[in-house]
Structures are given as C-alpha cells and as structure tokens.
Amino acid sequence: MKTKDLILIVEDDPGISKMLQFTLTQDGYGCVIAENLKSAYRLFQVNNPDIILLDLGLPDGDGKTLIKNVRSQAMTPIIVISARHAEQEIVAALDTGADDYVLKPFSGIELSARIRSAQRRLLGIIPSQQHIVCGELVLQIETLIVSKNETILKLTPTEFNLLKYFMLHPNQVVTHSRILKEVWGVGYQHEMHYLRTFVNSLRKKIENDPSRPQYIITQMGVGYRFYCQNDSISKE
Amino acid sequence: MKTKDLILIVEDDPGISKMLQFTLTQDGYGCVIAENLKSAYRLFQVNNPDIILLDLGLPDGDGKTLIKNVRSQAMTPIIVISARHAEQEIVAALDTGADDYVLKPFSGIELSARIRSAQRRLLGIIPSQQHIVCGELVLQIETLIVSKNETILKLTPTEFNLLKYFMLHPNQVVTHSRILKEVWGVGYQHEMHYLRTFVNSLRKKIENDPSRPQYIITQMGVGYRFYCQNDSISKE
DNA sequence: ATACTTATCAAGAACTTGTCAAGATTTCAC
DNA sequence: GTGAAATCTTGACAAGTTCTTGATAAGTAT
C-alpha cells in the first residue's frame, strides 16, 4: 500500500465531517477528525497532517486560534471551510495564516481541487522534473542528454552543466559571478574567461546562427540571459 | 519611492483592470496590465511579476493556456478571477496550476487578503523580485532589466544607473551635481557634459517622442525632474 | 540681439566580450 | 600502467560596446 497524505478535518457537525471523510477517502487521503479546537491541536501535534480542513465555528472557540497555533510552528496548508460569508471574516482568517477559504455549502469536487492545489504548491516548490524544455531544446537531467529538434547534441560535462543552469533560469538575467559560482563552484566567481569560452562553445552547438544568438543573450556589463519561449498559445 | 512587488493583471475589461490597478496601487504594489493572452505571456517573461491575477475569459483564448505556459517555467502564484461559476471550470483551472479561484463579482478587500496569503506562502522560498514601476516603465533591480510595455530596453550600465536614480526619485527636482555625485561618484559633480549626453541617450530609449520628453523633464538652471504618474501613493 | 543653458551628433579611446588555438590535464579503454 | 581521446585551462588577438570628449546646433531668458 502506498503511504497516503493525511488530512486533519476539524468540524463539529458529524454529518459534514463524515461526508468529508468519505469524499477524501475516495480520493485516496487518510483522515483524522477533530470536533473541537483542543482535540484538533492535539491531533495536529501528534499526527503532523499534510493538510488541515478547518471549520471556523467550533464549540470551544474560534478556529482562528488554531490557525495561529499551527502557524507558529508549521507551514501546513490550512483550508478554512465556513458558513461565515462576511468579508471581514474571510480576510481575518486569511491574514491569520489560512491558505484558502471555501464557503459552505461547498462542492466536494471543488474542495478536492483546492486540496490538490495546496499540495502541489507544497511539493512544487522544488520541481524535480525529468527534463526541461526550451523551444527546440530538450534537456534530460538524468541521462545527461540534450537534443535539439530530434538530434542529440554532443555536450561536454561542463557545457551540459552550464546549459542546465541556463535552462533552469529561463528569461532571467544571471550575473557572471553567479553562473560561475553555481556551475563551477565557490571560488571561481572571477574566472570570467572560463565562462566566455564555454558560452562560446555552447553557442556553437545550440544556436542556429552562433554569431546572432537567440538563446544565450549577453547582457553587457552584467551577465547573460537565457531566452526561452514555450509558446503553446498560438496552437490549440 | 521604494521598490515594490509587481502584479501582472490579465483582464480585458478596462473598467475592472483600472479598478484593480487602483486598489493594488493603494496596497503598495506595482501593476502591469495585459488585455490578452499573448501580451500577458510577454509581460510575464519580460517583467518577472511576483503574482498574476488572471481573468479566464480573454479575447484570444482560454486563460488556462497562460497558466500552463507560466507553470512550465515558474511557480509564480496565479489567482484566477472569473465569472465562470461552474464547478468543472474551477476544478480545471486549479488543476492546471492556478493557486486560487475568486468569483466575480469579488470584494477588493478579500482579493487583497488572498494576494497577501499567496505572498506569505512564497516568503523565504522564492526571493521576491524588487521592481520600480513608473507608467509604462518597469525596472528590475537585481536583473538590471528595464522594460517598456512588452519590450526589454537595451540600456548600457551607466544609462541603467541613471534611470534607476531617476526612478527612485520621481516627481522631484534633482540638481545636476546631485545626480552626478550619486550616479558617477564623488568628484564628478561638475562633469555636466556626461549628464547631458546620457540624458540624451536615455530619452531616445525611453521617451515616446524624445524631442518632447514626458519622463525626463529639464528644470532650467537647476537639474531634471523625473515624472511618474502612479507615484501619488507611496512615499518613503 | 546677446549671453547663457541645454541638446545633439560624431569620432576616437577605453573597456568588455567573442573567437580560436595550443598546451595541460583528465578520462577511459585496453 | 600506458596511450589515445576528450576535455579543460590559458593566452593572444579580434570584434563589438560603451564611455569620453569636442564641436555645433537649438532653445531660453533678459
């Protein structure tokens, strides 16, 4: 069995919490249910859930207290589910540290999507993709293979690392010293000549016209900018 | 004027986008506005905004395309603002990679709170880009990029420093010697000629009609004044 | 009109970046 | 281990930008 992500449901109405539990179990999550603040906080500490669903109106106090307590020690996504439609309630909950605010009655399907979104953010922070695509260029991180329009390019290790760094920072200006530090290592910040030489040889391999580069663009006095347009707008 | 976080507003209804711009400027953000997908993607690439507000119904296609394109290279928070209440629309947008989905008509105050929530999540994970915004001009401090509308301007280092100084001191008269001291360094206070030459070349690049400048305005006998429309709010 | 300030243009100097190739070092196969 | 091949390092020079400077035109105030 796969390990499931755990969701802490904080809700005093058994009807709703049972319904939530049913839906979320269907979606493949594990659930723990708290019916009041005290038990919610204890379950949070004990179980370290991946996501918290929180109803604000609880018998022993305002749910915002829980938000505050959780935020003081973790970034666990908190999705508030509430019947309180008042604007200042929503704002207060969000500003206390909630990630999202869903109004009752809510759609189970939408809630699932919002849970997925919260999860994705948590994971997506370090996007560990297998390959990076920039225009005609495809770089496979694992296999160290770079291809341009179906043809495999023959890059040396340093060239590959440099290109990888560029492709991981598309459309941003990166300074000479930054590139040198990231690709060659600390202590190489001033070896500009390395960078020039390797940019030169990279251009020869990836650019259509190396004398008029369209990928590696030099930013005079600063560094380089890797231009990348993944344009699917024109199509579909 | 301080540097601001930049918000890209993608919205084809000028009434709504103007309203958003007003609210967000009040809140201390810089804004750029796109009225269609194509321009939105370009502005995203050029300006590296900190947050994207996206209306799904655009003249040249579905906003989800933009979500896809943005997500292929960055984790920039995307808040969808839409009149489409249908559940499957919301789910689709969230699953494509949107961070939040706000229904029209929306409350400005709630939107601000949702923006703050999105920003808070990013804190410490992705260092926020610092921008200075003046009318159509957006200057990115760390990447040394200046853009006007959708195009990146090609400025030399000295031109950039001069423009940065101007944009950091908008709507105030700065004397020749002051600019020279700040931009070129102590000892250059009397090199008026430098200043004239560089103001000249800057005007050629940033002004719509360099012979009738609207940004860099000469203050006879004193110095220059950099005119900036949307600076009425934030003071240092 | 005159004196003064500001704008424009262009050419050479100074600096930054690009190119190429030879020597040094590492890697890999045998 | 040894030698061949590939890769990295280094230097010299070319090409390209940007800065500095001077000359001249345009604009303003008295």
Same domain, B176 and B116: no
Q: Are residues A115 and A74 in the same domain?
A: yes
- The answer to whether the Cβ–Cβ distance between A90 and B69 falls below 8 Å is no
The candidate with the shortest Cα–Cα distance to A55, out of A6, A13, A115, is A13
Taking the stretch 138-157 of protein chain A, residues with Cβ within 7 Å of any atom in nucleic acid chain D are 154, 156-157
- Residue B141 Cα, gap to closest chain A Cα (Å): 11
Q: Say what the pLDDT of residue A130 is.
A: 76
How far B227 CA lies from chain A's nearest CA (Å)? 27
Q: Do B75 and B158 fall into the same domain? A: no
Strand D neighbours among B 104-143, CB < 7 A? none
Residue A145 confidence (pLDDT) above 90: no
- pLDDT of residue B233 exceeding 50, the answer is no
What is the spatial distance between Cα A15 and Cα A28, in angstroms, rounded to a whole number?
20
Instruction: Give B99's contacts in chain A (Cβ within 8 Å).
Output: 117, 121
Nearest nt by C1' to B192 Cα: C6
Is the CB atom of residue B157 positioned under 7 angstroms from any atom of strand D? yes
Helix (DSSP H) and strand (DSSP E) numbers for chain A: 8, 14
Position A232 scores a pLDDT of 56
A232 within a domain of the structure (yes/no):
no
Q: How many domains in chain B?
A: 2
Question: Same structural domain for residues B103 and B178?
Answer: no
Domain termination residue (choose one: A105, A124, A143): A124
Question: Across the interface, do B143 and A173 touch by the CB < 8 Å criterion?
Answer: yes
Give A193 or A3, the one with higher predicted confidence: A193
Question: Of the candidates B87, B97, B112, which has its C-beta nearest A109's C-beta?
Answer: B87
pLDDT for the residue A121: 85
Per-residue confidence at B142, pLDDT binned at 50, 70, 90? confident
Same domain, A15 and A52: yes
**Model confidence band, residue A2 (pLDDT cutoffs 50, 70, 90):** low
- Which residues on B lie below 8 Å from A107 (Cβ)? 87
Q: Which residue, A107, A124, A141, sits at the end of a domain?
A: A124
A176 and A202 both lie in a single domain: yes
Say yes or no: A32 and A115 in one domain.
yes
In a domain, B66, yes or no: yes
pLDDT tens digit string along A118-132?
Answer: 988 887 655 566 788
Answer whether residue A48 is part of any domain. Answer: yes
Residues of A in contact with B69 (CB under 8 A): 230-233
Predicted confidence at residue A141, as pLDDT, reads 85
pLDDT at B8 (0 to 100):
97
Whether A181 shows a pLDDT value over 50: the answer reads: yes
Residue A231 lies in a domain: no
pLDDT beyond 70 at A167: yes
CATH number for the domain harbouring residue B85: 3.40.50.2300
pLDDT value, residue B125: 66
Domain boundary pick from A84, A101, A124? A124
CA of B157 to C1' of C21 (A): 32
Structural contact between residues A80 and A54, judged by C-beta atoms closer than 8 angstroms:
yes
Same domain, B95 and B159: no
What are A109-113's contacts with CB under 8 Å, separation 24+?
A109/B87, A109/B88, A109/B91, A110/B87, A110/B90, A110/B91, A110/B94, A111/A20, A111/A23, A111/A53, A111/A79, A111/A81, A112/A23, A112/A24, A112/A27, A112/B91, A113/B90, A113/B91, A113/B94, A113/B95
Mutate: best of A116, A172, A218, partner B, most B CBs <10 A: A172
A135 and A117 belong to one structural domain: no
Indicate whether B15 and B118 sit together in one domain: yes
Let me know whether A67 and A149 are in one domain. Answer: no
C1' (D22) to CA (B180) span, angstroms? 20
Supply the pLDDT for residue A230: 75
CB B54 within 8 A of CB B81: yes
Q: What is the pLDDT of residues B82-96, one digit of tens each?
A: 998 889 999 999 999
**CA-wise closest residue to B198 among B215, B180, B181, B182:** B180
Q: Looking at residues A152-159, what average pLDDT do you find?
A: 92
% of chain A at pLDDT higher than 70: 94
Per residue in A30-75, pLDDT (tens digit) is 999 999 999 999 999 999 999 999 999 888 888 999 999 999 998 8
Looking at residue B65, its amino acid is T
Q: Is residue B144 part of a domain?
A: no
Determine, yes or no, domain membership for B139. Answer: no
**Pairwise CB contact (< 8 Å): A233 & B37:** yes
**B143 CA, C8 C1': separation in Å?**
31
Q: Locate the chain A residue with the closest alpha carbon to B110.
A: A91
| Domain containing residue A166 | 131-226
- pLDDT at position A55, please? 93
Torsion-angle region of residue A61: left (phi > 0), alpha (psi -120 to 50) or beta?
left
Is A142 a domain residue? yes
Residue B143 structure tokens: 């990447």
The model's confidence at residue B123, banded by pLDDT at 50, 70 and 90, is confident
Query: Which residues of chain B approach chain A closer than 8 Å at the C-beta?
Result: 37-38, 41, 45-46, 48, 60-61, 65-66, 68-69, 72-73, 75, 87-88, 90-91, 94-95, 97-101, 107, 109-110, 112-114, 116-117, 120-121, 125, 143-145, 156-157
In a domain, A68, yes or no: yes
Q: Which residues from A are below 8 Å from B116, CB to CB?
A: 94-95
Work out the mean pLDDT of chain B and round it to a whole number: 91
Residue A27 has pLDDT above 70, yes or no: yes
Strand, coil or helix: what is A133? strand
Q: Do B113 and B17 fall into the same domain? A: yes
Q: For residue B158, what are its two tokens?
A: 């000295």
For the domain that residue B217 is a member of, what is the CATH number?
1.10.10.10
* C1'-nearest nucleotide to the CA of B203: C7
